[in-house]
Amino acid sequence: MQDTLTTVLAVAAVLLTAVLAGLVYLIVLLRSRKDGGELAGLLAPLQQDLTKLDQALRSEFSTNRTEAQVSLKSNLGDFRDGQAKLLDSVAQRVQALSDSNDARLRDIRESVDKKLGSILEQLQKDLMDMQKVAVDVGSLSRVLTNVKARGVWGEIQLERILVEMLTPAQFERNYRPKPASKDAVEFAVRLPGPDGEPVFLPVDSKLPREDYERLVAAQEKGDVPGVEAAAKALEATVKAEARSIRDKYINPPHTTDFAVLFLPVESLYAEVLRRPGLVEDLQSAHRIVVAGPTTFSALLNSLLVGFRSVVIQKRAVEIQRLLAAVKAEMGTLGALTDKVSERFELLAKDFEAVTKRTKLIERKLKGVDALPQTEAAPLLEGGDLGDDGA
């Protein structure tokens, strides 16, 4: 459409330029001739040409405008169709993207719901476990508050270690080391004795909880005088328990000349070790060895190996004496062997003489005819031969 309008305007411009050029020529001509009649004669054809030109221009412009309108309507229709198709395509793509996003969002929501569900279930389980732990801790605290229950707890822990390391025949529960006394130690480890009889090692568990808790509380507060006072109280309690074990349960030769004080808490055992000179005093003055859950196993192994080495050493001495006795008997056996050898030599000489006599008799009887076996057997019987000689 724009190309057509440009063409029409170019044609009109050319025509107008020609008309203007003609008018300019006429004006110049008229001025030169000054003749009106000739001017009228010249203007009449020019006016006719202008009228025709105007009609042609109007007709051409009308035609071009109609074509332009038709072309514009056609182009507008095509443009609207293209726009409609483009909108449909865009709408389809937008719908496809929306459906895809909806599907992804559903998958993400389902995945998130599942993960959140599993996390909530795990949190509920953890919460229940924490509640159980809280209940167990409360129960343990109530147990440890009671002195008798504390002793039972330490006894259970000690028994578990003994069961893991020893056979049921290697230790006894509630052993009475003094037959005349009713005092019974919690456990007694059966060790091999030097004379073949077992020797028992008394092991008793103690838990001075109050003194230890006061010590820990003072340490957390930074109370130096309180720490010293609590430590001295704990030391005094441990010494009192050691004296009680010594007086009640050590009874050689039925038991060893020392006993074991078992502390069921590692931190308590470490605090006892930290007190200067306490462990050495317990060993020298009270013949008590202090052990915790970790060190008791090593102590028990070393004691078993030590007592077994003593038994092996005693057995080695017995074996040496037995070998000495065997060596003494070997001398007697050598003399008997010499006598037997001499007798064998005499027998060999006698056998050689018998062999020679037999060969001699065979040579003497070489000319005698031999009887059949059936006849010779009755003659060689003792009774028949005696009758013939009479």
- List the structure tokens of 228: 């010293």
Confirm whether 335 is domain-assigned.
no
Task: Please report, for residues 2, 160, 207, 299, the alpha-carbon distance to residue 153 in angstroms, rounded to integers and kept in the order given.
Answer: 107, 11, 9, 21
Confirm whether 57 is domain-assigned.
yes
Where among 104, 133, 160 does a domain terminate?
Answer: 104
What's the predicted TM-score (pTM) here?
0.44
Give the residue from 64, 8, 19, 67 showing the smallest Cα distance to 43: 19
In this structure, are residues 150 and 157 in contact, taking their beta carbons and an 8 Å threshold?
A: no
Please report the pLDDT score of residue 98 as a whole number: 80
Note whether 85 and 211 are same-domain residues. no
- How far is the C-alpha of 172 from the C-alpha of 194, rounded, in Å? 20
Note whether 51 and 159 are same-domain residues. no
Q: What is the pLDDT along the chain (390 residues), one digit of tens a residue?
A: 555 556 655 666 666 666 666 666 666 565 555 455 555 565 566 667 667 766 776 777 777 777 777 777 777 777 777 778 888 888 888 888 888 888 888 888 888 878 877 887 887 787 787 777 666 555 545 444 444 444 466 788 888 888 888 888 888 888 898 888 888 888 888 887 766 678 888 999 888 888 888 888 888 888 888 888 988 898 899 999 999 999 999 988 888 888 999 988 888 888 888 888 888 998 888 899 998 888 888 888 777 776 566 555 666 566 667 666 666 666 676 677 777 777 777 877 777 777 877 777 777 667 666 667 776 677 666 544 444 443
Task: Report the 10 Å Cβ neighbour count for 249.
Answer: 26
Domain of 293?
152-315
Characterize the bridge pairing of strands 259-262 and 288-291: parallel
- Name residue 89's amino acid: S
Please report the pLDDT score of residue 288 as a whole number: 92
Where among 296, 315, 334 does a domain terminate?
Answer: 315
Where among 288, 315, 342 does a domain terminate?
Answer: 315
Confirm whether 10 is domain-assigned.
yes
Note whether 162 and 298 are same-domain residues. yes
Please report the pLDDT score of residue 50 as a whole number: 67
In this structure, are residues 204 and 259 in contact, taking their beta carbons and an 8 Å threshold?
A: yes
The count of structural domains within the chain is 2
